[in-house]
């Protein structure tokens, strides 16, 4: 527990099993992951340390700003000078930012074990030339009394990304994959309550960070299955460690990548400058709920601008989507246009109902429909009206919702 007024980061150093340590920092300062995605729930960066038989292996690291804290955490277990290997699974700086300082504290003695693609990235990001050991897919190295298999898992989350499998201990260290946002109150998936609290942050993380590469989630999970790894622990670089039920996070990732719906959840997003379109969106929400659906309803208006991260986090496991927007400068009201871009990039195709409105010329339905169908989404119905919805428009909206639910 930190004292009131203590602004130092919360660091957790814990031996998960004999000689294998979690080094976790809780980033309570970050507001926007990748300087894009709003994450009021924050995030953790998890590095791991294996110390055995005179060897010491560091798996990944923390953001640059926490580099000194990581060195202190390592020092609590082993002298940084005694690191024999630093495995860099992924060069994104939330994990590699501490590398230059760690290597400096180590006297550049350790081998940096990584994918050949990572070498020019590390050199160009940090202007350092460490002792690289570049490994091939599924190559095994011996270090700290372990046989570590390095498995290429491209696009989880960048093309160079690898995972480590500790063959004796049966631990998978997958870096970004199988992680999530938030600062879980435990380090392990100890009980159902902790997992239930955490999974919405996994869903949001997958949609925002890896959703664009979702086909690779499926391919890489299949690759792990084909390698017939016996996995007892999954130790990701963000969030909870999976020890009680590692299968759960593998299955959850796969279901998100496939866009499997969470029950009857329907995402409804309305943009409305003066409330006319919002009236129509509320009718759609009412009809969804009357027909037994559950809505995740977001409104862009002159009081609220909901975070895109929340919306697409709810899009990925929705059964269907309703987008409602007025015409704006001969196009789509910009927040909904941007949302449609995000959805078509990051979310598996879903059935969609479009509501469009206009004052003098309607274009929204056509433009949104072209964008969505071009990305494989099925536009079940487009309902466009002038001004505020008339009684006949209300009837069409209710009918459109009914058709949407039938088709999803």
* Contact between residue 118 and residue 92 where contact means Cβ atoms under 8 Å apart: no
User: For residues 68 and 65, what is the distance between their CA atoms, to the nearest angstrom?
Assistant: 8
Strands 55-59 and 85-88: parallel
| Residue given tokens 């260290």 in the structure block | 173
92 binds ligand FEO (CB under 6 A): yes
CB 94 → ligand FEO: shortest distance, Å? 4
For residue 294, CA distances in Å to 44, 291, 305 come to 31, 9, 22
Q: Which is nearer to ligand FEO, 249 or 269 (CB)?
A: 249
CB 193 → ligand FEO: shortest distance, Å? 26
Q: Which is nearer to ligand FEO, 179 or 326 (CB)?
A: 179
Q: Which is nearer to ligand FEO, 176 or 287 (CB)?
A: 176
Q: Which is nearer to ligand FEO, 176 or 317 (CB)?
A: 176
63 binds ligand FEO (CB under 6 A): no
Residue whose beta carbon is closest to ligand FEO: 92
Strands 131-134 and 111-114: parallel
In this structure, what are the phi and psi dihedrals at residue 366, rounded to the nearest 5 degrees?
A: -65, -45
Q: Which range binds ligand FEO by CB under 6 A, 92-100, 275-283, 304-312, 313-321?
A: 92-100
385: which 2 tokens? 């009206």
90 binds ligand FEO (CB under 6 A): yes
CB 91 → ligand FEO: shortest distance, Å? 9
Residue from 237, 241, 296, 339 that binds ligand FEO (CB under 6 A)?
Answer: 237
User: For residues 303 and 257, what is the distance between their CA atoms, to the nearest angstrom?
Assistant: 33
Q: What angle do CA 15, 132, 180 make, to 5 degrees?
A: 45
Strands 32-33 and 20-27: unpaired
53: which 2 tokens? 């038989």
Applying the rule CB under 6 A, the residues between 147 and 176 that interact with ligand FEO are 157, 176
204 binds ligand FEO (CB under 6 A): no
- Residue 328, classed as helix, strand or coil, is strand
- Residue 280, classed as helix, strand or coil, is helix
34: which 2 tokens? 């990748």
Half-sphere exposure of 45 (CA within 13 A, CB side): 26
Q: Which range binds ligand FEO by CB under 6 A, 18-26, 86-94, 246-254, 336-344?
A: 86-94
User: For residues 295 and 284, what is the distance between their CA atoms, to the nearest angstrom?
Assistant: 10
In this structure, what are the phi and psi dihedrals at residue 131, rounded to the nearest 5 degrees?
A: -80, 100
CB 360 → ligand FEO: shortest distance, Å? 46
Q: Which is nearer to ligand FEO, 238 or 319 (CB)?
A: 238
User: For residues 144 and 54, what is the distance between their CA atoms, to the nearest angstrom?
Assistant: 6
Q: Which range binds ligand FEO by CB under 6 A, 15-23, 91-99, 274-282, 383-391?
A: 91-99
CB 97 → ligand FEO: shortest distance, Å? 10
Q: Which range binds ligand FEO by CB under 6 A, 89-97, 185-193, 289-297, 384-392?
A: 89-97
Q: Which is nearer to ligand FEO, 69 or 94 (CB)?
A: 94
- Residue 83, classed as helix, strand or coil, is coil
CB 150 → ligand FEO: shortest distance, Å? 17
Which residues does residue 110 pair with via DSSP β-bridges, in sequence order?
Answer: none
User: For residues 253 and 364, what is the distance between their CA atoms, to the nearest angstrom?
Assistant: 34
Q: Which is nearer to ligand FEO, 102 or 284 (CB)?
A: 102
* Contact between residue 59 and residue 84 where contact means Cβ atoms under 8 Å apart: no
The one-character DSSP state at 59 is E
Q: Which is nearer to ligand FEO, 240 or 320 (CB)?
A: 240
Q: Which is nearer to ligand FEO, 62 or 308 (CB)?
A: 62
25 binds ligand FEO (CB under 6 A): no
Residue from 26, 94, 160, 337 that binds ligand FEO (CB under 6 A)?
Answer: 94
* Contact between residue 201 and residue 208 where contact means Cβ atoms under 8 Å apart: no
95 binds ligand FEO (CB under 6 A): yes
Q: Which is nearer to ligand FEO, 309 or 369 (CB)?
A: 309
Q: Which range binds ligand FEO by CB under 6 A, 90-98, 295-303, 350-358, 399-407?
A: 90-98
Summarize as ranges the residues that interact with ligand FEO (CB under 6 A).
Answer: 90, 92, 94-95, 157, 176, 237-238
């Amino acid at each position: 527990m930190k004292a009131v007024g203590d602004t130092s980061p919360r660091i957790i150093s814990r031996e998960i099993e004999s000689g294998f340590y979690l080094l976790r920092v809780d980033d309570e300062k970050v507001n926007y992951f990748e300087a894009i995605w709003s994450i009021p729930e924050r995030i953790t960066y998890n590095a791991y340390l294996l110390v055995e038989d005179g060897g010491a292996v560091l798996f990944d690291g923390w953001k640059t700003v926490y580099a000194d804290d990581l060195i202190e955490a390592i020092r609590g277990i082993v002298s940084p000078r005694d690191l024999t290997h630093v495995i860099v699974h992924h060069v994104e700086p939330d994990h590699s930012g501490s590398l230059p300082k760690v290597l400096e504290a180590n006297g550049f003695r350790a081998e940096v074990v990584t994918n050949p693609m990572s070498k020019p990235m590390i050199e160009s990001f940090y202007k350092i030339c460490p002792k690289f050991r570049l490994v091939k897919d599924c190559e095994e190295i011996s270090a700290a009394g372990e046989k570590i298999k390095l498995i290429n898992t491209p696009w989880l989350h960048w093309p160079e990304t690898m995972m480590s499998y500790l063959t004796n201990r049966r631990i998978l260290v997958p870096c970004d994959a199988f992680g999530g946002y938030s600062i879980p109150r435990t380090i392990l998936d100890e009980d159902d309550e902790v997992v239930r609290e955490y999974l919405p942050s996994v869903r949001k993380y997958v949609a925002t960070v890896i959703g664009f590469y979702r086909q690779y989630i499926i391919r890489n999970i299949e690759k792990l299955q084909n390698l017939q790894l016996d996995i007892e622990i999954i130790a990701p670089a963000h969030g909870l460690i999976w020890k009680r039920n590692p299968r759960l996070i593998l299955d959850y990732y796969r279901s998100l990548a496939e866009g499997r719906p969470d029950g009857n959840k329907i995402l409804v997003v309305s943009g409305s400058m003066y409330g006319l379109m919002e009236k129509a969106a509320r009718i759609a929400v009412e009809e969804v709920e009357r027909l037994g659906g559950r809505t995740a309803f977001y409104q862009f208006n002159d009081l609220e601008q909901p975070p895109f991260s929340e919306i697409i986090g709810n899009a990925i496991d929705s059964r269907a989507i309703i987008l409602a927007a007025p015409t704006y400068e001969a196009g789509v009201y910009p927040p909904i246009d941007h949302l449609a871009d995000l959805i078509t990039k990051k979310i598996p195709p879903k059935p969609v109902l479009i509501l469009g409105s206009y004052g003098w010329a309607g274009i929204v339905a056509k433009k949104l429909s072209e964008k969505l169908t071009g990305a494989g989404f099925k536009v079940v119905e487009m309902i466009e009206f002038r001004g505020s919805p008339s009684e006949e428009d209300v009837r069409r909206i209710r009918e459109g919702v009914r058709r949407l639910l039938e088709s999803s």
